[in-house]
Chains A and B, each alone.
Chain A
Amino acid sequence: MIDFRGINPEFAERYKLIDDSREFCEYMNKPLRPSIRVNTLKGKYEDITNLLSEKYELQPVPWCKEGFFLETEVEGIGNTIEHQLGLIFSQEASSMIPPVVLNPEPGTLVLDMAAAPGAKTTQIAQYMENEGCIIANDVKISRINILISNLQRCGVLIARVTMKDGRTFKKYENRFDAVLLDAPCSNTGMIRKNYKYLKLWRLRDVYALSKLQKGLIMAAYSALKPGGILVYSTCSLDPAENEEVVDHLLANTNAELEEISLPVERHKPFTSFDGKEFNSEVKKCLRIHPQDNDTEGFFVAKIVKV
């Protein structure tokens, strides 16, 4: 069993308040199930799934038609012909949720505010059937290069890649039909993938990220057209980066939350934490702990601009 206290006592102290169950520890210790998404920009769904079925045992991801867990042991998915042709994208199953919730229409204008490495951007492009426009933004050049490489391999024709601080999109007031803010976070949901996230975790970073996330969500909401959908997500389980950020938006705008009706097991969102009370509407958010669906931890909120 993973020794949180031995590796990072500050983390252990904090997460005792978030999930102190035995199951949480067990699943944080368990390797992630490999999963992929079929890229329908490069071929028909049936043609690609038929090809994959010849080689792998596929287990559908219940909340994403294009997603599959690979039950067969796969050594180096990057060395498969399907990956190199862009027929599939290696993507953690829970991270397929935000684009499913966003559900963008072909021909619309979408902002992906923190887009790199591009898993969700390419998923959005396939839902838009390569029609319309996605502003795929990220703040770091090293991450932009990976994003462009993935857009290339997946055959995305509708992306404009920009390198800006996401908060500057505030000036594009009421411009976008849909916005995805998959915010930079403390990555605790990804500890199952790599223990480095546990070693690197610091509480002061969580507070700094929470402040940044509040700035980003306000800009994302400003850029959204009335009637449009904003999806906010992180791969952190800390309420300071999730419910508190959504609460900040609700307190400062006329934003409304919508329930997320997907076949996903979930935990109840926090309505208070760290001495702070949140708007009870945050109950509509989707909080996923690793043991819920045997995935990474994840948080998703669906917001409508009234």
Chain B
Amino acid sequence: MRKKQVLIGLIGTKLDTPSGMRRWEEWRPSISLFGFEDLLIDRFVILHQARLEAALERIEADIHHISPHTTFERHCFDFNDPWDLEEVYDKLLSFADHYPFDPENEDYLFHITTGTHVFQICMFLLCEAQYLPGRLIQTSPPLKRRGPTWRIIDLDLSRYDAIAQRFAREQAARVAFLKAGIETRNAPFNQMMAEIEQVAVASTAPLLLLGPTGAGKTRLARRIYELKRLKKQVAGPLVEVNCATLRGDAAMSALFGHARGAFTGAIRERAGLLRQANGGLLFLDEIGELGLDEQAMLLRALEEKRFMPMGADEEVHSDFQLIAGTNRQLWREAHEGRFREDLLARIDLWTWRLPGLKDRREDLEPNLEYELREFSRKESRRVTFNREARQRFMRFAQAPSATWRGNFRDLNAAITRMATLAPGGRINMEGVEAEIQRLERSWQGGDSGPGEVGLVARVLGASVALDEFDRVQLEGVLAVCQRSRTISEAGRALFSVSREQKTTNNDADRLRKYLARFNLHWKDIKTDEEGA
């Protein structure tokens, strides 16, 4: 059984009501809808004003000639002021509430050619909000060489190919922008960036970026800011700060500012970073390093958009979006009382873990291209690899033995060094070999490199008191543990020599006991690896 087609429309007080024979030569929008060869309307729900009652007889008779099977249903619809949006919307809404719509068996078309513009707007709004369960239909008057026309206005924009394609194109462009134009190939990473794009353009809530140092948190925060600025979603500046650099009173004052004379040496008033970020974006990297007092103040600033600068009498206002970065296990920190749970709950809303470079080996090549391009741009000279050198470097870079401990920071440093030393702007085999040795040395050594936090510090906290002798050993053990999927696998790797000699099988137990000396459990190490 075919669904019945029902038209619901207002009789136009001027256009629909001419009388006399000439009316057939005029364009009557409501009547014209029944004369189309490709549109068959079973029922016309006529919305009309009381004073048009007389004209309705004629209108129905005329429609009956051109559409003999159509039935009619009249609804009197009187507006005191048809230009008053509140009144028109209210009357249409109560019609929508009371009309016995039967979408299982009937399709509804709402005619928006007649009525005041306010009426048309209200029809549109109610259709869009699905109070009126159907589609909009519009008629147009005849032109010179063609008769009148009709068309359905479908409000589902995704159904229009051109618009959908445009949306997709713009979105793809924004994602590419976030990735700094690097054509990354790692599927989980690309998916994550697509999600970040969606949230970045749609939300002003805090964003939390996790991931090892050098994974690109800062770069991403900057791109998010640029994207929002291009979309005119932020007017204020991007303010970046690494919380690890803030200590004691200086931290409070740097973040929240101080009044003149707030403490010894506070000679002038200071606005503080939060106030600088007003209307813009605040990137707090290493947010786990923030002291508890600063955390409390930050929470208030996020919730109330107000806070008290040091030594001030009055609160100040600042409205900013927060992006927080961390490499720490914030929930564990919160559990152990080092991080405020309420603050964490506030910022752990949109959380993404940026993978390290070793987990995105397929992205090494596009990032290498990017770094070369950037170097060439900054130094205004073109640098390229020769073919063998490039193959050698990529082989090394993608091998499992390359840990890329400093992630993109390592890659950036490697390219910068090779490019700087490249004779005639051409990186050759010699340069690559030298760089490979340099990288290997830095990854092998206990030396974590500048800014790098060792595994021991990550697992036990930076302030743990430990003999250097134990630290070096534990660092090595933890590295193996992180590479291994199970404790047995780690045990086998760590005790392979003694195992061959003694043919014992309790490697896992031995490892467990070793870790216990530092109050560590296997799952502590692994959760640290796998994230919040």
A and B bind: no
**Residues on B close to A: CB < 8 A?**
none
